[in-house]
Structure 1
Amino acid sequence: MALPPDKNPPSRDKHAAQLAAQQDVFLREVDDALRQDQVEGFMKNYGKPVLAVVAAGLVALGGWLYWDHLQTKRLEENSEAFVQALDSLQGNNLNDAKSKLTPLAAKGSNANATSARLLLAAIGLEQDRKADALKLYRQVASDEKAPQPLRDLALVRAVTADFDAMKPQEVIDRLKPLSAPGNPWFGVAGEMVGMAYLKLGRADQAGPLFAAIAKDEGINDGLRSRARQLAAVLGVDAVSDVVDDKGEAIDKPKLGGATEAGGQ
């Protein structure tokens, strides 16, 4: 009995497999060509802007790193120059200190530059160059970018150096914000304001101010002693009450004791 003929002879299956493989290779080649064409199209249309952005970013990063390096280097150099200037001052070599501080004073409003100006002003006073010193003090006091504590210091130093030449009311106007209790400059500024009050004949305002200075334990003893004497001359009690552990004045008679004494 003869077998039925094979509907899928081996030659046809092999041919079909070859066709499928060829189609797969063709599709991959088309896909690769399409991807390459897309990349080339993207680079053609957007390549230059993208490269420009990347290049700009790299330049900016490099610039920032270089700037940071220069800032660090300058800070170290300025600090070293400031220390050398202080050494010269300690050795009473004022001219050498001045030569080191002058370049620092010209470098803006940071703490180093402002401190350099203050030291140059102090050197000016020491060398009898009052006008130069006052110019530097006033420059620092009016510099809104300078640290506030240094601005206050410059203001106090300027008024101290020029007190005798200033009008009393001008002294009061300039120092009144600093002559309030609790302010770090209360003692020094308050004393000058009190003296200005005396020049204006306003003892009623000078006395209480001197008494407040004398009672402030945060102020140095020498200044408190002067204020206490001035307050006493003006008839104002500047001696703080001595109190016991209950906060009562020791020299103040207690109510119970007074009653008992009255009863006796």
Structure 2
Amino acid sequence: MTAPRHRQLLSREKATIFPANSNRYRREPKVADHTENSLIREIDEELRQEQFHKVWSRYGKIILVAAGLCVAAVAGYQFWVKYDLETRQALGDRFAAAQKLAETGSADAAAGAFKSLSGEGGGYGLLARIQEAGLLAKNGDTAGAIAAYNAIAADTGAGKLYQDLAVILAAGLEVNDPGTDPKKVQDRLAPLMAAGNPWRFSAQELAASLALRAGDKAKAVEIYSTLSKDAETPARMRQRATELLTILR
């Protein structure tokens, strides 16, 4: 079997540098060292090339496929970002148009626009559901509006912030709904009255109103007193609580 090229090269170069019965090595060690270093570098380079060819022959196709997939993934991600941005902008335009219809008195057209948007999902879809329920209430369909708000409150995909908001909005209608059980509404509001909840002040005010409706004056006074003393209570709400306390005491 023929020896690898780098071994043949090493044997040939050694014979040239160190011929038999020669004292050249002892007389010129620096030249010999330099030549041997060059030879070692050449052999090392050849070994590297052989190793590269072996690796490439085994994994070259895989490397090319992986590189292609990487390029495709980057291109796909950039396309998705552009598409997502354009989609959200389009949904935002549709939501603004539906709001304008509602503000100009085109209730039926606005309701249809919000209903169409509510099926899109995402943030605008959720806001459209809330607006759609509000239009039902505005048009006198209190039961339909309460049912729509309760559906949002039960939807875990909506997120806690909007679920709690839906509870508040439904309770705002139920306060004056003769068919509503005040105790059940108060039970739904109770978790929202805890410190740190962003809707706690609205929940407390509604709970006080429900207590009055149920004939529990003491409970109403207790809640209004808390609202009037809390420095974080919104100014107008604190003023209402103070005025009602004056009347109830």
Pick from 104, 114, 135 the counterpart of residue 91 of structure 1.
104
* Structure 1 residue 67 corresponds to structure 2 residue 85: no
1:79 paired residue number: 92
Q: Secondary structure at the match of 1:92?
A: coil
- What TM-score, normalized by structure 1, do the two folds share? 0.64
CA contact (8 A) 1:171 1:192 kept: no
Tell me how far apart the structure 2 counterparts of residues 131 and 166 of structure 1 sit (CA, whole Å).
Answer: 10
Partner deviation per Cα, 1:104-130 (whole Å, 9 max, x = no partner):
3223343x2221111111111123333
Pick from 47, 52, 63 the counterpart of residue 50 of structure 1.
63
Between 123-132 and 45-54, the greater mean CA deviation after superposition: 123-132
1:197 paired residue number: 211
Tell me how far apart the structure 2 counterparts of residues 32 and 185 of structure 1 sit (CA, whole Å).
Answer: 73
Q: Secondary structure at the match of 1:172?
A: helix
| Residues 1:175 and 1:48: Cα distance change in structure 2 (over 3 Å) | same
Q: Quick one: which amino acid aligns to residue 159 of structure 1? A: A
Q: % of aligned pairs identical?
A: 26
Q: Quick one: which amino acid aligns to residue 102 of structure 1? A: K
* Structure 1 residue 168 corresponds to structure 2 residue 182: yes
Tell me how far apart the structure 1 counterparts of residues 145 and 214 of structure 2 sit (CA, whole Å).
Answer: 27
1:121 paired residue number: 133
Q: Quick one: which amino acid aligns to residue 178 of structure 1? A: L
Q: Quick one: which amino acid aligns to residue 155 of structure 2? A: D
Partner deviation per Cα, 1:194-253 (whole Å, 9 max, x = no partner):
23334444332222222333455744547744x445434543xxxxxxxxxxxxxxxxxx
Tell me how far apart the structure 2 counterparts of residues 78 and 147 of structure 1 sit (CA, whole Å).
Answer: 20
Unaligned runs of 5+ residues in structure 2 are 1-14, 17-34, 36-41
Pick from 109, 116, 128 the counterpart of residue 103 of structure 1.
116
Tell me how far apart the structure 2 counterparts of residues 96 and 199 of structure 1 sit (CA, whole Å).
Answer: 36
Aligned positions of 1:146-165 closer than 5 A: 146-163=158-175, 164=177, 165=179
2:245 paired residue number: 231
Partner deviation per Cα, 1:81-104 (whole Å, 9 max, x = no partner):
111122212211122223332233
CA offset at residue 150 of structure 1? 3.0
1:15 paired residue number: none
CA offset at residue 183 of structure 1? 5.5
Task: Give the alignment's Cα RMSD to 1 decimal.
Answer: 3.6
Higher Cα radius of gyration: 1
Pick from 190, 204, 210 the counterpart of residue 224 of structure 2.
210
CA contact (8 A) 1:194 1:209 kept: yes
Tell me how far apart the structure 1 counterparts of residues 147 and 121 of structure 2 sit (CA, whole Å).
Answer: 16
- What TM-score, normalized by structure 2, do the two folds share? 0.68
1:41 paired residue number: 54
Q: Quick one: which amino acid aligns to residue 69 of structure 2? A: A
| Residues 1:36 and 1:68: Cα distance change in structure 2 (over 3 Å) | same
Tell me how far apart the structure 1 counterparts of residues 50 and 224 of structure 2 sit (CA, whole Å).
Answer: 90
| Residues 1:57 and 1:116: Cα distance change in structure 2 (over 3 Å) | same
CA contact (8 A) 1:109 1:145 kept: no
CA contact (8 A) 1:216 1:224 kept: no
Unaligned runs of 5+ residues in structure 1 are 1-18, 236-264
Partner deviation per Cα, 1:157-202 (whole Å, 9 max, x = no partner):
1112233322121121111233457765445432332233344443
Tell me how far apart the structure 2 counterparts of residues 167 and 37 of structure 1 sit (CA, whole Å).
Answer: 85
Tell me how far apart the structure 2 counterparts of residues 234 and 182 of structure 1 sit (CA, whole Å).
Answer: 28
Q: Quick one: which amino acid aligns to residue 194 of structure 1? A: A
Structure with more of its chain in helix, by fraction: 2
| Residues 1:229 and 1:65: Cα distance change in structure 2 (over 3 Å) | closer
